[in-house]
């Protein structure tokens, strides 16, 4: 046993549907705006620019049943329901036609955001970490094993009222393309999670709100804001 000078951090992990094993979280990659129905219907090409990536710390993940307190330092705490990809394989410069071979499974996750701090960072041309990479900012469902990306509805409600209602078919960058693009920037590893962007309808959360997010074929994530 290594003799650490301070207590070693616990390994963040998620449960797996139909299994007693858990999925160990290595890194959490996220992609920015990825639902471009409107851009496409206006004849624009939403792939003119490469996707924007940011990260959350691995221990920002909140497994099912975990607490999501109202975070520090914000007055505008937002929900973003997302399809989450869990990787069993890795590599750099993975071609898109090989990317789905790295996938362990899929989950529903919520990219919780301190929108006011993200806005200040955007205005200042500063990094997004304070807006995106804070404690408990990545609640997730259990992981549903399977390499084929799910299709269907992606929804979120607050206290039973529908707030986000999108379709996975409206993603600009596909799961395979996102994995390929991420692997041009980082060497992906087993245990990585990738949040794939949110449809429209994002908005604020308040203490006491009951949040339920569902991604068809991937999972259901729910919590009450502390
Ligand atoms: Mn997001």
Going from the Cα of 209 to the center of ligand 1, the distance in angstroms, rounded, reads: 20
Going from the Cα of 195 to the center of ligand 1, the distance in angstroms, rounded, reads: 7
Say how many CA atoms lie within 13 Å of 23 toward its Cβ. 36
Going from the Cα of 111 to the center of ligand 1, the distance in angstroms, rounded, reads: 5
Residue 41 reports pLDDT greater than 70? no
Per-residue pLDDT band at 48 (split at 50, 70, 90): confident
Residue 218 reports pLDDT greater than 70? yes
Per-residue pLDDT band at 81 (split at 50, 70, 90): very high
Per-residue pLDDT tens over the stretch 134-154: 999 999 999 999 999 999 999
Percent of the chain having pLDDT more than 90?
A: 92
Distances (CA, A) of 177 to 34, 37, 168, 174, 180: 12, 17, 14, 5, 5
Residue 129 reports pLDDT greater than 70? yes
Going from the Cα of 83 to the center of ligand 1, the distance in angstroms, rounded, reads: 10
- Which pLDDT does position 196 carry in this prediction? 97
Per-residue pLDDT tens over the stretch 85-114: 999 999 999 999 999 999 999 999 999 999
Going from the Cα of 97 to the center of ligand 1, the distance in angstroms, rounded, reads: 25
- Which pLDDT does position 134 carry in this prediction? 98
Per-residue pLDDT band at 132 (split at 50, 70, 90): very high
Choose between 170 and 1: higher pLDDT: 170
Going from the Cα of 5 to the center of ligand 1, the distance in angstroms, rounded, reads: 36
- Cα distance between residue 44 and residue 37, in whole Å: 10
Going from the Cα of 4 to the center of ligand 1, the distance in angstroms, rounded, reads: 35
Q: Residues 22-36: what's their mean pLDDT?
A: 94
- Order of strands, edge to edge, in the sheet holding 113-114? 113-114, 77-79, 203-204
Q: How many CB atoms lie within 10 A of CB 39?
A: 15
- Which pLDDT does position 39 carry in this prediction? 65
Indicate the average pLDDT of the chain. 96
All domains of the chain in start order, with CATH: 29-221 (3.90.850.10)
- Which pLDDT does position 44 carry in this prediction? 73
- Which pLDDT does position 49 carry in this prediction? 84
- Which pLDDT does position 60 carry in this prediction? 98
- Which pLDDT does position 162 carry in this prediction? 98
- Which pLDDT does position 40 carry in this prediction? 67
- Cα distance between residue 88 and residue 23, in whole Å: 9
The structure's pTM equals 0.97
């Amino acid at each position: 046993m290594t003799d650490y000078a301070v207590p070693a951090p616990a390994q963040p992990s998620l449960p797996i549907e139909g299994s007693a094993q858990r999925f160990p979280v290595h890194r959490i990659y996220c992609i920015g705006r990825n639902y471009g129905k409107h851009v496409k219907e206006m004849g624009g090409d939403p792939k003119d620019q490469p996707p924007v990536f940011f990260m959350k710390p691995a221990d920002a993940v909140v497994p099912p049943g975990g607490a999501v307190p109202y975070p520090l330092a914000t007055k505008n705490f937002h929900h973003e329901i997302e399809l989450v990809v869990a990787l069993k394989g890795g590599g750099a410069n993975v071609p898109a036609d090989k990317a789905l071979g790295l996938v362990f499974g899929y989950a529903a996750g919520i990219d919780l955001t301190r929108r006011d701090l993200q806005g200040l960072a955007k205005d200042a041309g500063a990094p997004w970490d304070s807006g995106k990479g804070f404690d408990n900012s990545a609640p997730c469902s259990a992981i549903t094993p399977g390499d084929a990306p799910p299709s269907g509805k992606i929804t979120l409600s607050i206290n039973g009222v529908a707030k986000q209602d999108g379709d996975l078919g409206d993603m600009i960058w596909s799961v395979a393309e996102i994995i390929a693009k991420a692997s041009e920037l980082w060497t992906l590893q087993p245990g990585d999670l990738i949040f794939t962007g949110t449809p429209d309808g994002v908005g604020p959360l308040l203490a006491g709100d009951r949040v339920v997010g569902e991604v068809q074929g991937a999972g259901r994530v729910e919590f009450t804001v502390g």
